[in-house]
């Protein structure tokens, strides 16, 4: 993890990223920001406080002279999963924290921001500190995406189908024809290279052998997926992984998460007509895998995806549309070593029973994506902007 920014740029970037989180909450009431719709999703207010807690706990506490916590109880309330820090408020009960209210959380943010900017000023040349701050900002950007996915999930539970944004969504152009882009394979290096920031799970860069393969030039569209549904895809056990079939039957699944039963889908703009040209979103790995099998294809491995994305070529929609499920389980790269201390819990301890998604989505903050980025979720997760790029 490297932070090549100048002190001035770092301070400006800090201010920008922190402000961007608050801006995401702007269209929401304090009630919207407090509720939690499932254990996997957190309240917006919690995201705003937890990202602040990250700076307070990992940066102010060890670096600030005469450090005093903004509020002693926040250390527990807004700890997400760091056992090294101590106790945590139970994840499924984050929605019961009506206090501190949104105003108090804004105060918390303002207080930590001011102290952070002061610290950055005092320690302008401290590269280790700058690296930690950069990590905190990247962490906050991850939560910016989660703010959108989590509030979408919350609003979708409401029969009124409230819109996060009252604007009309932009029209989606017709999807281009799907073409197959061939890659010749062989030995390749994957993992992060260069001086820019990366997470520890993108390292070390290492060698892999990849057989020749092809990737689809574009993502699977809603229209493509509708054909799968209409062909009986959700009723044919032979297309599904065993666990996926169990999930289909237990949940009586018939379509992607936010598709409604009247040719509409629930979006951040409320219920909208289903756009058949738009890239499919909100499918689990099970659905992605079943669709690929039905289409006579398969999902890419993460190595294939990264090799292809690092090459010049005709791949569209790599970033900024949908996270793309891969068939690769989330595992440490050879030689992977997490950082020492509690901050080492960031990534490594989740490397089990999760699968890698590559690319980035429409909810990912600008500048947060790169070819070596490894997003990961359990195979059944559907509330992220997750879609499908086929391989064969």
Residues at the site binding a second copy, with contacts judged by CB under 8 A? 29-35, 37, 73, 76-77, 81, 83-84, 89, 93, 95-102, 154-155, 157-160, 162, 187, 206-209, 211, 237-238, 240-245, 285-286, 289, 327-329, 331-332, 334-335, 345, 349-353, 379
User: Residue 199 Cβ, how far from a second copy at the closest point, in Å?
Assistant: 16
Q: Which is nearer to a second copy, 13 or 293 (CB)?
A: 293
Q: Which is nearer to a second copy, 170 or 238 (CB)?
A: 238
Query: Which residues are CB-contacts of 227 (< 8 A; sequence separation ≥ 6)?
Result: none
User: Three-state DSSP class for 267?
Assistant: strand
CA dist., res. 195 & res. 260, Å (int): 45
CA dist., res. 305 & res. 282, Å (int): 20
User: Residue 37 Cβ, how far from a second copy at the closest point, in Å?
Assistant: 6
Q: Which is nearer to a second copy, 213 or 385 (CB)?
A: 213
Query: Which residues are CB-contacts of 103 (< 8 A; sequence separation ≥ 6)?
Result: 30
User: Residue 130 Cβ, how far from a second copy at the closest point, in Å?
Assistant: 26
User: Residue 147 Cβ, how far from a second copy at the closest point, in Å?
Assistant: 14
CA dist., res. 151 & res. 34, Å (int): 10
Q: Which is nearer to a second copy, 122 or 158 (CB)?
A: 158
Query: Which residues are CB-contacts of 221 (< 8 A; sequence separation ≥ 6)?
Result: 175, 276, 277, 278, 279, 280
Q: Which is nearer to a second copy, 223 or 380 (CB)?
A: 380
Q: Which is nearer to a second copy, 197 or 240 (CB)?
A: 240
Q: Which is nearer to a second copy, 112 or 379 (CB)?
A: 379
> Among candidates 387, 47, 37, 40, which has minimal Cα distance to 218?
387
Contact 189, 178 (CB under 8 A): no
User: Residue 36 Cβ, how far from a second copy at the closest point, in Å?
Assistant: 8
User: Residue 96 Cβ, how far from a second copy at the closest point, in Å?
Assistant: 4
User: Residue 16 Cβ, how far from a second copy at the closest point, in Å?
Assistant: 28
Q: Which is nearer to a second copy, 9 or 165 (CB)?
A: 165
Contact 132, 59 (CB under 8 A): yes
Q: Which is nearer to a second copy, 94 or 218 (CB)?
A: 94
**H helix intervals, the chain:** 7-25, 30-34, 44-55, 61-63, 74-77, 102-122, 127-156, 222-230, 242-250, 285-294, 302-310
User: Residue 159 Cβ, how far from a second copy at the closest point, in Å?
Assistant: 6
User: Residue 183 Cβ, how far from a second copy at the closest point, in Å?
Assistant: 13
> Among candidates 89, 72, 71, which has minimal Cα distance to 80?
89
Q: What angle do CA 293, 318, 244 make, to 5 degrees?
A: 30
If 0-12 CB within 10 Å is exposed, 13-18 middle and 19+ buried, where does residue 131 land? middle
């Amino acid at each position: 993890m490297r932070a090549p920014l100048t002190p001035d740029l770092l301070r400006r970037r800090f201010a920008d990223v922190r402000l961007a989180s608050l801006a995401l909450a702007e269209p929401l009431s304090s009630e919207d920001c407090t509720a939690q719709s499932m254990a996997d999703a957190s309240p917006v207010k919690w995201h705003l406080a937890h990202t602040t807690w990250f700076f307070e706990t990992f940066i102010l506490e060890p670096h600030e002279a005469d450090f005093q916590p903004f509020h002693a109880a926040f250390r527990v309330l807004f700890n997400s999963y760091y056992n090294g820090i101590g106790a945590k408020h139970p994840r499924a009960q984050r929605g019961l924290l009506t206090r501190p209210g949104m105003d108090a959380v804004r105060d918390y943010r303002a207080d930590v921001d001011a102290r952070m900017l002061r610290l950055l000023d005092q320690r302008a040349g401290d590269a280790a500190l700058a690296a930690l701050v950069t990590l905190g900002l990247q962490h906050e950007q991850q939560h910016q995406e989660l703010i959108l996915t989590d509030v979408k999930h919350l609003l979708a539970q409401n029969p009124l189908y409230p819109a996060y944004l009252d604007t009309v969504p932009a029209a989606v152009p017709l999807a281009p024809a799907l073409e197959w882009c061939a890659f010749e394979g062989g030995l390749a290096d994957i993992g992060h290279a260069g001086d820019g920031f990366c997470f520890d799970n993108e390292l070390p860069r290492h060698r892999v052998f990849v057989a020749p393969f092809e990737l689809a030039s574009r993502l699977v569209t809603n229209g493509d997926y509708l054909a799968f549904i209409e062909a009986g895809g959700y009723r044919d056990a032979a297309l599904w992984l065993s666990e996926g079939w169990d999930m289909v039957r237990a949940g009586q699944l018939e379509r992607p998460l936010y598709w409604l039963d009247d040719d509409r889908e629930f979006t951040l703009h409320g219920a909208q007509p289903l756009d058949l040209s738009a890239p499919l979103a909100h499918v689990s790995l099970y659905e992605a895998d079943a669709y690929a099998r039905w289409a006579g294809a398969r999902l890419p491995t993460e190595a294939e995806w990264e090799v292809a994305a690092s090459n010049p070529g005709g791949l569209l929609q790599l970033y900024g549309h949908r996270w793309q499920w891969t068939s690769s389980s989330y595992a440490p790269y050879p030689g992977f070593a997490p950082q020492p201390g509690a901050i080492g819990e960031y990534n490594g301890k989740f490397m089990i029973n999760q699968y890698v998604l590559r690319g980035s989505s429409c909810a990912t903050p600008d500048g947060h994506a790169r070819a070596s980025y490894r997003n990961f979720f359990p195979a059944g997760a559907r509330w992220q902007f997750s879609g499908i790029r086929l391989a064969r």
